[in-house]
Amino acid sequence: MADTGLLLYLVPTAIIFLILSISWYKSEKDLKGKILMFLLLVVGMAILFGYAFFFSMSLGYRP
């Protein structure tokens, strides 16, 4: 049950975040902006998957 909830939350959120990040990355013109957008993508995905880890651990191990 926790896996289903995790997939229903994580997959659409990750797809939306990737689409937004790629469109923002393409709209940047200078190198500094592209580097900052790439760092935003990496940090955002790390936070998203970190949250997914804690979400699955908290729901998966209920007594």
Banded model confidence at residue 14, pLDDT cuts 50, 70, 90: confident
Please state, as a whole number, how many other Cβ atoms lie within 10 Å of the Cβ of residue 17: 16
Q: Please tell me which residue, 9 or 31, carries the higher pLDDT value.
A: 31
Question: Structure pTM?
Answer: 0.67
pLDDT tens track for 23-48: 888 888 899 988 988 898 899 889 88
Residue 42, amino acid: V
| pLDDT bucket at 5, cuts 50 / 70 / 90 | confident
Domain residue spans of the chain:
2-60
What average pLDDT does the structure give for the chain?
Answer: 82
pLDDT at 60: 62
- Report CA-CA distances (Å) from 57 to 11, 22, 23: 17, 30, 32
